[in-house]
Amino acid sequence: MNKEERYDLGIKTLKKMISDESLNTIGNMKNISPDFWDMIVGFGYGEVYAREGLSLSKREIVTITSLITQGAFDQLEFHIRAALQVGLSENDIIEIIIQCAAYVGFPKACQAMIIAGKVFQEKE
């Protein structure tokens, strides 16, 4: 797999996870640094998410848990939407956050729950 094939596989993987509109939004990164955008798509989605051996929905359990644990809440909404897209239910996400409460404490779990609540409400 050369660099272009990797990029193409990354875009293909992203399209399974998010809307074209969201893809356009995050694609603005290429105006700041085309190389960094290439790494996000090529490495992140072409080389990591695209791997066999763990489903996209289980990969999103990892992602959401890691974002909550590190307090990276600005990116949580994006990945809660992606998680719902690849097969997790709203209840799965609530359970992930509750499981996190015991492992990272209530402050981060509360903040995650508020963001999840907002995403769920917008989908109705």
What does the buried/exposed string (b/e) look like for 35-73 if buried means 16 or more CB atoms within 10 Å of the residue's CB?
Answer: eebbbbbbeebbbebbeeeeebbebbbebbbebbeeeee
Is 8 an interacting residue with respect to a copy of itself (CB under 8 A)?
A: no
Among 80, 82, 83, 97, binds a copy of itself (CB under 8 A): 97
19: left (phi over 0), alpha (psi -120 to 50) or beta: beta
How many of the chain's residues bind a copy of itself (CB under 8 A)?
Answer: 59
Residues that bind a copy of itself (CB under 8 A): 1-3, 29, 31-33, 35-36, 39-40, 43-44, 47-49, 51, 53-54, 58-59, 61-63, 65-72, 74-75, 91-92, 94-111, 113-114, 116-117, 120
